[in-house]
A and B are shown apart, each in its own frame.
Chain A
Amino acid sequence: MADNNRQPTDPAWESKVRASFARQTFMRFIGARIAALAPGRCAVEVPFRSDLCQEDGFIHGGIVTAIAANAAGYAAFSLMPASSSVLGIEYKVNLDEPTPGERFVATGTVVKAGRTLSVVESEVRAEADGKSSAVAHMLATMMCSAKTEAGHGA
C-alpha cells in the first residue's frame, strides 16, 4: 500500500521528476501528462485517442503498459538521490479485458526503495462518466543509475 512517510533524499525531487518527464518525447506524442506526484507515488494520465488503438478500437495494450511503467519509473525516481537517473529493468503486467474509457490513469506506488533497485506497483484505471475500473496491474523493478540524466547525452 501507499507509504505516506516516504522521505525524498533530493530536495529538488519534484522539479527533477517533472523535468525528466517533459523530456520524454513519447509521452508528449501520446498526450500523456503527470496527473499527481508525491514522494514515492506518481500518476500519469492519457486521454483516449483514436490513433492509439488496437484492432478493435480499444486503447492499445502498449499504451496502457507504457503509462504504467512510466508512472512506476517516476514514483521510484522521486525517492532517488540528486545526480542519478532511473532505468526500467523489468516488469510483469496483467491486462484485464479491453475497456473503453475517456481517459486512462496509471498510478505507480513504491513498494521498496533500495539503494540500487526499487520495486514499484502500478495500477491503470479507465475512467468514463465519473466511473473508474481497473484495466491493468504491474509489478516493476527500477534501477538507480549513478549517471545523471545529462550524462546520458540526452
Chain B
Amino acid sequence: MAPELKPRDPAWEACVRDGFARQSFMAAIGAKIAALSPGMCELELPFRADLCQQHAYVHGGVIAAIADTAAGFAAATLMPAGAGVLTVEFKINLIAPAEGERFRARGETVRAGRTLTVVESEVSAEKGGVWRPVARMLATMMCLEGKREVRP
C-alpha cells in the first residue's frame, strides 16, 4: 500500500459506513457498499425501472450520483477523525448507455491531500454476466475538519 493511502482515523471504516448509511438518497435508490478499503470505495446498485431516463436505460444522473458517492467515500476513508467530506467538482464522461442488471461504481483515490483529494471513479454495468464500463469520473473532494456534525 502506498504510504499516502494509510488511514489517519483508526475508526475509518465505521465512520465511512455510518456516513453512507445516513445518505437517504442512496437508500432511496437501493445502493449499497460492495467493497471498502483505504482509498477505495465500491458501490453496487441493482437496476430499477423507476431510475430510468427516456430510453429505459438507467438515468445518467443516477450513474453520476453513485460515481460521486463512491468517490466521496473513497476520499473519506483517508480523512482524519471527525472530518466531513464535500464534493467540490467533477467531470464525467458517459461512455455507454447504462444498460444492465446491476451497476458498480468504484472510486479510487489518486492523491489524498490535507484539504483536497483527487479521486477517479469508474461505473460498470453487468449485462448477461459481462461487465462493461459505462462512465468515468475525475472528482475533487474537500476535507472539512470538525464539521461532521453540521446539520441544516
Which residues of A line the B interface, CB within 8 A? 20-21, 23-29, 50-58, 60-63, 65-67, 69-70, 85, 87-95, 97-98, 100, 149, 152-154
Residue pair B62, A25 in contact (C-beta under 8 Å):
no
Q: Which of B69, B88, B152 contacts A62 (CB 8 A)?
A: B69
Question: Would B94 and A55 count as touching, CB distance under 8 A?
Answer: no
CB distance from B140 to the nearest CB of A (A): 9
Within residues 62 to 98 of chain B, which ones have a CB less than 8 A from any CB in chain A?
Answer: 62, 64-66, 68-69, 84, 86-94, 97
Q: What is the distance, in angstroms, from A33's C-beta to the closest C-beta of chain B?
A: 15
Q: Top 8 A-B pairs ranked by shortest CB distance?
A: A66-B61, A62-B65, A152-B55, A26-B59, A60-B25, A55-B22, A23-B54, A154-B55
Provide a sorted-by-A list of 20 A–B residue pairs whose CB atoms are within 8 angstroms: A20-B54, A21-B54, A24-B59, A25-B51, A26-B50, A29-B28, A29-B51, A54-B23, A56-B84, A60-B26, A61-B65, A61-B87, A62-B61, A66-B59, A69-B64, A85-B54, A85-B55, A91-B91, A95-B87, A152-B55
Please list the residues of chain B having a beta carbon within 8 angstroms of any beta carbon in chain A: 19-20, 22-28, 49-62, 64-66, 68-69, 84, 86-94, 97, 150-152
Give A112 to B10 CA distance when docked, in angstroms. Answer: 50
What are the residues of chain B within 8 A of A88 when measuring CB–CB?
60, 94
CB-based contact A90/B87 at 8 Å = no
Q: List residues of chain B with CB within 8 A of the CB of A89.
A: 93-94
A26 contacts B55, C-beta separation under 8 Å: no
The interface residues of chain A lying within 8 Å CB-to-CB of B53 are 23-24, 26
Given contacts A29-B51, A65-B65, contact A153 B56 (CB under 8 A): yes
- On chain A, the residues within 8 Å of B84 by CB distance are 55-56
Is A51 a contact partner of B90 (Cβ separation < 8 A)? no
Interface contact B93-A56, CB-CB below 8 Å? no
Q: Are B28 and A52 closer than 8 Å at their CB atoms?
A: yes
User: For residue A149, which residues in chain B have a CB less than 8 angstroms away from its CB?
Assistant: 54-55
Q: What's the nearest-Cβ distance from chain B to residue A72, in Å?
A: 10
Q: Which chain A residues border B91 with CB–CB below 8 Å?
A: 90-93
Instruction: List residues of chain A with CB within 8 A of the CB of B51.
Output: 25-26, 29
User: Could you say which residues of chain A place their CB within 8 Å of the CB of B69?
Assistant: 60, 62
B54 & A50 in contact (Cβ 8 Å cutoff): no
**A55 engages B152 (CB within 8 Å):** no
Complex interface: chain B residues within 8 A of A93 (CB) = 89-91
Contact B68 A57 (CB under 8 A): no
